[in-house]
Amino acid sequence: MGRIDILLWDEWLSTIPDSVEDVEAEMAGLLQGMNQISNNREGSLLTTSRIAVFQRIRKIWSLSTGTSKIDLANLLILPKSLRGRIFIKRTKEIQNLLNMQISRPNSKRSMAWLRGLWGPCGSLFKPKNGYYLVFRLNNSNSQLESIKNIFNNFNLNFNSRNRLGGYEFSLRNQDSILEFLSDVNLTKTSMAVQERIIFRSMRNFANKIVNCDSSNIKRSINASRQQLELASKIEELGIGDMLPHPLKEVIIARLSNPSATLRELGQSLQNPISKSTVEYRWKKIEDILMEIERGGSYNVPWKT
């Protein structure tokens, strides 16, 4: 399996929006998610540390009716060393997109907007258990309420909180994450994440079975060892013939089958008995030996 993060960003960069309306909404999301700063020479600027955001803007720039007639290169400010942040000038056309509001949070257009916002603000994480998806925005961002409305209208289970001077929305429910990825046209990523979730679930289930089997084997070995020790003490004390037949029966069965489980031991008898009955009989044998070790004598009546 390839890396999910590489697949996600490749798909995010390459997918073409379905309509001009989706282009406008996504462009608005891209710009509204960026940080806004002031510059004495250039005025108000937008920036983000993610180069992929500018790659996406360049890809859909000519598809937007509000920006198609403007040369994007004239709006970008590149660092002289070609290292560091890229800035985009806040022109009238850019401002129109920054002012766009999502009036219908349950529409396809709202998901196109959220797809754009994902670029500068979204992340998908894979800790030890499951996945979780996060949007991190500045507290000053005017779109916080829009995100809440969209998540609620699409029935996406989310948490929100103030964190590190900003505001964070997170999806931790696996179904909500898969639905979100599909709704923003990241279908390949959604399928890959689902495949990982299923694979991880199957692996964890297999590990539980192995661990359970290992634990059962250890318990069986310990029980067998303890019962062999009890049988040895019975033999040393020479009281084997004094025991009732049911007790002698399980002792003989254990000596003949040192590695058998309690269930197997019970089934090996002439008249098969349950695991709990085998345990009960060994408990009686242990009680007899404890009584003798305390200085008493063996006189335990047996009831069938």
Write the pLDDT tens digit of every residue in 15-46. 999 899 999 999 999 999 998 887 767 678 89
Is the Cβ–Cβ distance between 109 and 121 less than 8 Å?
no
User: Is the pLDDT confidence value at 218 over 70?
Assistant: yes
Q: Are residues 142 and 228 both part of a single domain?
A: no
Buried-state track 52-70, b at ≥16 Cβ within 10 A, e below 16: ebbebbeebbebbebbeeb
Q: Are residues 77 and 159 both part of a single domain?
A: yes
92 within domain boundaries: yes
Percentage of the chain modeled with pLDDT above 70 = 94
The single-letter code of the amino acid at 220 is: S
35 within domain boundaries: yes
Q: Are residues 163 and 245 both part of a single domain?
A: no
Tell me the average pLDDT across 123-141: 83
Strand extents, DSSP E, 55-199: 76-77, 86-89, 122-125, 132-138, 159-163, 166-171
Q: Are residues 180 and 241 both part of a single domain?
A: no
**How many Å separate Cα 123 from the centre of its chain?**
14
Q: Are residues 161 and 263 both part of a single domain?
A: no
201 within domain boundaries: no
Q: Are residues 119 and 9 both part of a single domain?
A: yes
Is the Cβ–Cβ distance between 243 and 301 less than 8 Å?
no
User: Is the pLDDT confidence value at 301 over 50?
Assistant: no
Q: Are residues 149 and 22 both part of a single domain?
A: yes
The mean predicted confidence, pLDDT, of the chain is 86
Residue-wise pLDDT for 257-266, tens only, equals 888 888 888 9
**Closest Cα to residue 187, out of 7, 5, 1, 23?**
7
User: Is the pLDDT confidence value at 97 over 50?
Assistant: yes
Tell me the average pLDDT across 189-200: 87
pLDDT of residue 165: 80
Q: Are residues 101 and 179 both part of a single domain?
A: yes
User: Is the pLDDT confidence value at 79 over 90?
Assistant: no
User: Is the pLDDT confidence value at 302 over 60?
Assistant: no
Is the Cβ–Cβ distance between 227 and 254 less than 8 Å?
yes
User: Is the pLDDT confidence value at 169 over 80?
Assistant: yes
Q: Are residues 266 and 150 both part of a single domain?
A: no
Tell me the average pLDDT across 280-287: 90
Q: Among the three residues 131, 163, 185, which one is the final residue of a domain in this structure? A: 185
pLDDT of residue 195: 87
pLDDT of residue 80: 77
pLDDT of residue 237: 84
Residue 304 banded pLDDT, cuts 50, 70, 90? very low
107 within domain boundaries: yes
In a 3-state reduction of DSSP, which class is residue 79? coil
71 within domain boundaries: yes
CATH of the domain at 45: 3.10.28.10
Q: Among the three residues 125, 160, 185, which one is the final residue of a domain in this structure? A: 185
**Closest Cα to residue 170, out of 122, 126, 130?**
122
Number of domains making up the chain: 2
Looking at per-residue confidence, does 197 or 147 come out higher? 147
CA distance 103 to 114: 13
pLDDT of residue 256: 84
Percentage of the chain modeled with pLDDT above 90 = 32
At 287, which helix (H) or strand (E)?
helix 275-293
Buried-state track 125-161, b at ≥16 Cβ within 10 A, e below 16: eeeeeebbbbbbbeeebebbebbeebbeebebebeee
Q: Which residues contact 298 (CB under 8 A, 6 or more apart)?
A: 239, 242, 288, 291, 292
pLDDT of residue 299: 54
Looking at per-residue confidence, does 7 or 207 come out higher? 7
User: Is the pLDDT confidence value at 106 over 80?
Assistant: no
The single-letter code of the amino acid at 283 is: K
Q: Which of 129-133, 158-162, 171-175, 208-212 has the lowest mean pLDDT?
A: 208-212
User: Is the pLDDT confidence value at 172 over 70?
Assistant: yes
Q: Where are the alpha helices (DSSP H) in 20-155?
A: 20-32, 51-60, 92-98, 108-121, 144-153
At 298, which helix (H) or strand (E)?
none
153 within domain boundaries: yes
Tell me the average pLDDT across 251-258: 86
Domain region containing 231: 218-293
Q: Are residues 13 and 133 both part of a single domain?
A: yes
CA distance 53 to 32: 12
302 within domain boundaries: no
pLDDT of residue 101: 84
pLDDT of residue 54: 94
**Closest Cα to residue 47, out of 57, 34, 59?**
34
- Pair type for strands 35-39 and 43-48: antiparallel
Tell me the average pLDDT across 53-71: 89
Q: Are residues 225 and 171 both part of a single domain?
A: no
pLDDT of residue 179: 92
208 within domain boundaries: no
Q: Among the three residues 185, 201, 228, which one is the final residue of a domain in this structure? A: 185
Q: Are residues 12 and 132 both part of a single domain?
A: yes
